Amino acid sequence: MNKSSVINFIKIVVVAVTLQACGHKEEKKAEVEAAPAQDVISLKKGVLSTSLDMPGELVAYQQVDLYAKVNSFIKKLNVDIGSEVKAGQLLATMEAPEYNSQLSGAQSRLQSQEAVYLSSKATYKRLLETSKTPGTVSPNELDLALAKQNSDLAQLESARAAFREVGDNRNYLQIRAPFDGIITARNVSAGAYVGPSGKGSELPVFTLQEQKKLRLTVSIPESYTGVLNNKNEISFAVKAFPGENFTARVTRLAGALDSRLRSQRTEMDVINKDKKLLPGMVADVHIPFNGTEGTFVVPSKAVLNSTLGVYVIKVTDNKAHWVPVKTGRTADDKTEIFGPLTEGEAIVKVANEEIRDNSDIKVNKTN
């Protein structure tokens, strides 16, 4: 092949490559023009309000199991199940004959020790007066008398303490209400042997509950704890009163998550002066949450959940760019998103994997 033939061959190849490239460009341009135009929206910050419906439980504001402090027998029960009691009211009296004997013995020892002390005290005073005359009483004798007086005084204080202890134990033969409430359980009858748990009756003598005020307890999932505070007002319903709604306000937050349920125990105080609601009722709780400002809120369809991750498709100069994001709460077909985005940027309203990253895209309009 001569030189002119080689040059002609090269020219033919260059023309063919050029025509092929132009063909690809024309074909790609045609594909872009043939693809449906994508609706885009302008990224804006907003507030997403959501709500949470979940079960809760009503419990007594205060509840206590009342046991006998000392081993004894029930002498008289002054209340029964359903009785309304006031703080300090006598609920039951017990009897333990051995305490009467112990009290008598302690009283006798106290009286005996008082007599001994008074004697040693008088002896010391006489010696002290006599010692004022020089040479009548030696200093050593006077010191011994003083030591005897102090020793008898210590013994007297010990006897007084023992007498008070027996008297206090005797006072434990009465059970009184620690607060206003209702007796919800009575587990013994007159004549029963009772005492501290495990030493007398395994069951308490009474169970006392305060019911004019209840606690509504709910376990709030971890994802909602960031927007929950003491200002949230909730509504709830119970099966006993269908169609009737009750309200309460969040009062106490546990401040920590349950390691097993990954939720935070939350309590609401419920005023129940008419005692319409009862401890143990299961409540259907509705908790509204107001979102925080400064969060991007987009239509849920604008979020692309692919095998590679979660993205939104941003449009810049008719080019599609997949931007990785994290999602927050979802409500009313809207979703919170967090990622490297700027307010006012255009994103595809309905994202799908057919829109490839860094591909050309035809934009329909901006809402």
Instruction: Measure the CA–CA gap between 328 and 334, rounded to whole angstroms.
Output: 10
Claim to verify: residue 127 and residue 150 sit in the same structural domain: yes
Q: Please list the helix, strand and coil fractions of the chain in percent, rounded to the nearest 5, in that order.
A: 30, 40, 30
Is 340 found in the same domain as 254? Answer: no
The pLDDT value given to residue 31: 45
Q: Indicate whether 14 belongs to any domain.
A: no
Average pLDDT taken over every residue of the chain: 83
Check which CATH number belongs to the domain holding 129 and give it. 1.10.287
Residue 367 has pLDDT above 70, yes or no: no
Same domain, 126 and 251: no
pLDDT tens digits along 187-197: 999 988 888 76
Instruction: Report d(CA 67, CA 203) in Å as an integer.
Output: 8
Confidence at residue 364, expressed as pLDDT on a 0 to 100 scale: 76
The predicted model scores a pTM of 0.61
* Whether 72 and 186 share a structural domain: yes
- A 10 A CB-CB count for 62 gives 15
> To 10 degrees, what angle do helices 97-130 and 139-171 make?
160
Residues 40 and 151 in one domain: no
Question: Cα–Cα distance between 70 and 346 in angstroms, integer?
Answer: 78
Domain with 80 in it: 68-96+173-204
Give the pairing of strands 38-42 and 363-366.
parallel
Number of domains in the chain: 4
pLDDT, one tens digit per residue, over 41-50 is: 888 888 777 7
- Greater confidence (271 vs 99) lies with 271
**How would residue 7 be classed by pLDDT, with cut points 50, 70 and 90?**
low
Could you tell me which residues come within 8 angstroms of residue 247 by beta carbon, excluding any fewer than 6 positions away? 233, 234, 235, 236
Assign residue 277 the CATH number of its domain.
2.40.30.170
Output DSSP code: residue 79.
-
- Is 90:174 a contact under the CB 8 Å cutoff? yes
